[in-house]
Structure 1
Amino acid sequence: MTTPSGHTEAIAATRVIGTSVYNTEGDSIGSVEDVMLDKMSNGIMFAVIGFGGFLGMGEKYHAIPWASLDYDPEKGGYVVPFTKDQLKAAPAYSIKELTGADGEAARDASFEYYHIKPYWH
């Protein structure tokens, strides 16, 4: 089955991790470092997007609601409907913070910040 934009519904996590992510202006903003799974609802909580840093030093991680990523085959990456300024001001975390409290703190802050309807409601 395909999504409204013509993509398949299923994808292996290994194909997602490492994929470039672009903002609405077409600028590369980072890449998918990981995906956080909600074991209780069998859904994806959020994509972990790495922004900046060099060789793992100073890297900031953002929890981006999975539903906001749209794959663009021409770019070979995901596009998020957020501006550069929105992304710069977004909550940033360490990997430990992203997974703390079962990921719920980062998830909740992310969905609230980006004004995405929570999938768990």
Structure 2
Amino acid sequence: MEPNTPIIRDPQDAGPGPGPEIMAAATLDGNDVYNLANQKLGSIDDIMLDVPRGRIAYAVLSRGGILGMGDKLFAIPWNALTLDTQRKCFVLDIDEQRMKDAEGFDKDNWPRMADVAWATRTHEYYNQAPYW
């Protein structure tokens, strides 16, 4: 995909589940994430729900490591991701270096995602307005 190429969504190409508008969260686990320059940034490891608000808060992007060992994890605001149903991946508008510089965590030391200060910083880093 060339930089700034529009993402084409085909409503008929839904994959497993009832469609691209409503999907089982597990269907998205393992999906690759690319930037606009078509550089692979990682893959979706988990999807975090904001239970009180009934919304998806973050996708957890896994990056680096080998076979799940040594991966660095990143909380990506859900609204920063665009689903490309044709390629069955997500697109995140961020360059490679900015992703490398992002605040991450490891599987044994998750941030307190309910902390408003942390959440605000995270949304600002990815140029997203907080959803709450």
Greater radius of gyration (CA): 2
Q: Is the 8 A contact 1:91 1:109 kept in 2?
A: no
Is the contact made by 2:80 and 2:92 (CA closer than 8 Å) also made in structure 1?
A: yes
Q: What is the number of residues matched between the two proteins?
A: 114
Alignment of 1:19-30 (within 5 A): 19-30=31-42
> Between Structure 1 and Structure 2, which shows a larger proportion of helix residues?
1
1:22 partner amino acid: Y
2:119 is the counterpart of 1:107: yes
Identify which of 39, 43, 52 aligns with 2:64.
Answer: 52
State whether residues 50 and 56 of structure 2, in contact with CA within 8 Å, keep that contact through their aligned partners in structure 1.
yes
Q: Which moved more, 1:9-18 or 1:42-51?
A: 9-18
CA change 1:41–1:96 in 2 (3 A) is farther
Match of 1:17 in 2: 29
The alignment-based identity, stated in percent, is 33
TM-score of the pair, normalised by structure 2: 0.77
The within-5 A match list for 1:3-82 is 8-82=20-94
Superposition TM-score, scaled by structure 1 size: 0.83
Task: Give unmatched runs, 5+ long, in structure 2.
Answer: 1-8, 12-19
Gaps of 5+ in 1: none
